[in-house]
């Protein structure tokens, strides 16, 4: 495959021709906020956070292939303004505090919040969810906490290729990940738990992760 050279934040970067901007950036240790991207899955483009300025146009970097001579800026005031609102909405709807969250530490949302320097005062302008949603503890190997879930869909996409046991259910704000009442399909490979970028899917404590 042929290579192209582009500039990301002033840095010359070489990338394979079909690669997306997001992948080229991450491969070169340039961070772009994202939740739904996983290197082993095809881009679903649903978190809508990975916007960059490519040759003067704001695009989703996970959807846009690199091009020879392309000039990419991962931050500028317009991107920051547009992205900040989406992230604040996400944080406002994130029912849980980070204290005691099993995802805390490697959490992708925490990373994004630090990156944009989230302003809690701005988040408080938004309306917070009224009640916590019940956890789904029906699976013998791991639990699902919808309050922590950012619906990146990585678990569903991962399972699709393995077992197809995880599904998206509901619509709008009630959208969740679920087994559709069919836990028997789960082979407990735990790949979904391993790939969960936040603390939504967590292994049951009493079981080994390869139970």
Partner 1 sequence: MSAKCNALVCLGTGCQSGGAEEVLSSLKEEIDRLSLGETVQVKQTGCHGFCQRGPLVVIEPEGIFYSKVSLDDVSEIAKSLLPGEPPVDRLFYREPATDTPLPHYMEIPFYSKQQRTILRNCGHIDPEEIEEYLAAGGYQTIKKVLLGMSREEVIDEIKRSGLRGLGGAGFPTGRKWEVCYKAQGPKKYVICNGDEGDPGAFQDRSVMEGTPHSVLEGMMIAAYAIGAQQGYIYVRAEYPLAVKRLRIAISQAKQKGFLGKDILGSGFDFKIALFQGAGAFVCGEETALIASVEGFRGMPRLRPPFPAESGMEGKPTIIDNVKTLASIPVIIDQGAESFARVGTEKSKGTVVFALTGKVENNGLIEVPMGMTLREIIFDIGGGIPDGKTFKAVQTGGPSGGCLPESALDMPVDFDSLKAAGSMMGSGGLVVMDEDTCMVDLARYFLDFTQRESCGQCTPCRLGTKQLFDILNDITKGQGRPEDIDLLLEISEAVSTHSLCALGKTAPNPVITTIRYFRDEYEAHINEKRCPTGVCGMLET
Residues that bind partner 1 (CB under 8 A): 35, 43-49, 51, 58, 63, 82, 85-86, 89-90, 92-93, 125-127, 150-151, 153, 167-168, 170-175
Residue number with CB closer to partner 1 (43 or 103): 43
**In the complex, least distance from residue 210 CB atom to partner 1, rounded to whole angstroms:** 30
Residue number with CB closer to partner 1 (6 or 149): 149
d(CA 139, CA 177) in angstroms, rounded, equals 12
**In the complex, least distance from residue 85 CB atom to partner 1, rounded to whole angstroms:** 4
Residue number with CB closer to partner 1 (160 or 191): 160
**In the complex, least distance from residue 12 CB atom to partner 1, rounded to whole angstroms:** 28
**In the complex, least distance from residue 93 CB atom to partner 1, rounded to whole angstroms:** 5
Cβ neighbors of 107 (< 8 A, separation 6 or more) are 98, 101, 197, 198, 199
Report the 3 state secondary structure along 189-200. Answer: CCHHHHHCCCCC
**In the complex, least distance from residue 111 CB atom to partner 1, rounded to whole angstroms:** 16
Residue number with CB closer to partner 1 (35 or 190): 35
Cα–Cα distances in angstroms (integers) from residue 38 to residues 35, 49, 103, 160, in the given order:
8, 14, 17, 14
Residue number with CB closer to partner 1 (28 or 176): 176
Cα–Cα distances in angstroms (integers) from residue 141 to residues 25, 148, 183, 209, in the given order:
35, 18, 10, 8
CB-CB contact of 168 with 177 (8 Å): yes
């Amino acid at each position: 495959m042929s290579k192209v050279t582009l500039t990301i934040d002033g840095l010359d970067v070489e990338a394979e021709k079909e690669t997306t901007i997001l992948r080229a950036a991450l491969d070169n240790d340039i961070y772009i906020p994202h939740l739904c991207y996983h290197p082993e899955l095809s881009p679903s483009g649903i978190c809508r956070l990975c916007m960059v300025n490519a040759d003067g146009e704001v695009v989703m970097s996970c959807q846009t292939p690199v091009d020879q001579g392309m000039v990419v800026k991962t931050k500028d005031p317009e991107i920051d303004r547009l992205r900040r609102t989406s992230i604040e909405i996400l944080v406002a709807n994130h029912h849980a505090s980070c204290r005691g969250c099993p995802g805390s530490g490697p959490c992708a949302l925490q990373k994004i919040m630090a990156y944009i320097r989230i302003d809690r005062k701005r988040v408080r302008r938004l309306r917070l969810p009224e009640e916590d949603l019940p956890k789904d503890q029906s699976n013998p190997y791991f639990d699902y906490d919808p309050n922590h879930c950012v619906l990146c869909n990585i678990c569903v996409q991962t399972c699709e290729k393995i077992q197809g046991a995880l599904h998206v259910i509901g619509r709008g704000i009630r959208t969740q990940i679920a087994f559709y009442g069919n836990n028997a399909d789960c082979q407990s490979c735990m790949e979904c738990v391993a790939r969960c970028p936040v603390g939504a899917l967590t292994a049951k404590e009493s079981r080994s992760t390869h139970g």
